[in-house]
Amino acid sequence: MGSSIHPVILCGGSGTRLWPRSRASRPKPFLPLVGHRTLFEQSLDRVANRSVFAAPTIVAGKAHRELVREQSGDVEGLAMIEEPFGRNTAPAIALAAHRAGEDAILLVCPSDHHIADAPAFAAAAETAAALAGEGWLVAFGIEPTRPETGYGYIKRGENIGGGFAIERFVEKPDAARAEQFLADGGYSWNGGIFCFRAGTYLEELARQRPDMAAAVERSVAGGQEADGIFHPDAEAFAAIEGESIDYAVMEGTERAAMVPVSMGWSDIGNWQALREALDADANGNVTRGRSELVDCRNVMVQSDGPRVSAIGIEDIIIVVDGDEVLVTTADGAQAVGKLAGASGQ
């Protein structure tokens, strides 16, 4: 057994496309969308085996401090870093890298994805950690199961033993290219899960984004621990220009690698994606909360209280939450984030 893997769980996602269930005060990671535990709780569960994983570091905003506390209360040794502002993933990971120390093998995980096959995840993490120990910056490459146009892709290159060098990152493709990628077999989805030595990441960040790296360093140096939470210096952090790890580090490094993994992954990126992650009945219907469906097919109902009665509809998603009701098609689900309600109006 090598040194343990240090999970870094990022809680920055707002999940506006899962409005009205996901709201600013209770965003997507903290909702029990699949099963009875929240996506954040499931993220903790996946790294709970302390013979493999160290106690995780959580990076979250101040607004969600209480949700993080409530939902991680029984995890011992957990570290919390509170971002004064959201600055996307590259700075958030840099904070965690500094706090963990340069020799730590970090496993960076979004807190708002669903993974059906936790053992496959753990196995891939160990494979990735071994490559990380050799100096690679490793991305999980999710085996594609459909010609998805909503995700970025990773093109695998040379076999490096246990994984592959990354030939290149590919932006969200159109439908024709997505079909081609699926047929080709050499492309994986970029699921936003990464593994590397903290020091490797910080070196690459300093080389590619020196201003960001310096600002994070100042922010850590000027930060302070209070009540079990590390608070980076807000003024230094405010100066950072937000950017994702993909752009700031992964796309520009010579040391990018990927580990292919098939683990029943979904980003639960919208209501249609959630529908696909849930078990349907014989008519393709998926319900949560009180409902009566008559002559309905491929309908999803999610209600936090009121009864939903539906007759004769097909391929429709219905969500009731508090004083908001959403009714959309699968395609329309992509546009939920643009609704007035989803933007807080």
Shortest approach of its own copies to residue 149 CB, angstroms? 17
Choice between 127 and 270, CB closer to its own copies: 270
Does residue 226 bind its own copies (CB under 8 A)? no
The single residue among 1, 226, 282, 294 that binds its own copies, judged by CB under 8 A, is 294
Whether 193 contacts 186, CB under 8 Å: no
Distance CA 52, CA 161 (A): 21
Choice between 45 and 314, CB closer to its own copies: 314
Distance CA 202, CA 43 (A): 24
Shortest approach of its own copies to residue 25 CB, angstroms? 17
CA within 13 Å, CB half, 335: 8
* Part in contact with its own copies (CB under 8 A); list of ranges 109-117, 188-196, 273-281, 328-336: 328-336
Does residue 307 bind its own copies (CB under 8 A)? yes
Number of residues this chain uses to bind its own copies (CB under 8 A): 34
Contact string 16-55 vs its own copies (x = CB under 8 A): ----x-----------------------------------
Whether 16 contacts 338, CB under 8 Å: no
- CA Rg value for the chain: 20
* Part in contact with its own copies (CB under 8 A); list of ranges 39-47, 94-102, 137-145, 312-320: 312-320
Whether 336 contacts 328, CB under 8 Å: yes
The single-letter code of the amino acid at 129 is A
Where b means 16+ CB within 10 Å and e means fewer, 96-105 reads: bbbbbeeebb
Choice between 220 and 293, CB closer to its own copies: 293
Long-range contacts of 323-331 (CB under 8 A, 24+ apart): 324/19, 324/20, 325/20, 326/19, 326/20, 326/271, 328/271, 330/272, 330/275, 331/272
Shortest approach of its own copies to residue 35 CB, angstroms? 24
Shortest approach of its own copies to residue 298 CB, angstroms? 14
Contact string 253-292 vs its own copies (x = CB under 8 A): ---------------------------------------x
Distance CA 186, CA 207 (A): 29
Does residue 303 bind its own copies (CB under 8 A)? yes
Shortest approach of its own copies to residue 289 CB, angstroms? 10
Q: What is the dihedral of CA 315, 335, 67, 226, to 10 degrees?
A: 160
Strand partners, 287: 301
Does residue 312 bind its own copies (CB under 8 A)? yes
Choice between 65 and 288, CB closer to its own copies: 288
Shortest approach of its own copies to residue 14 CB, angstroms? 17
Choice between 115 and 308, CB closer to its own copies: 308
DSSP 8-state secondary structure symbol assigned to residue 161: S
Q: Which spans of this chain sit near its own copies (rule: CB under 8 A)?
A: 20, 292, 294-295, 303, 305-313, 316, 318, 320, 322-329, 331-333, 335-336, 338-341
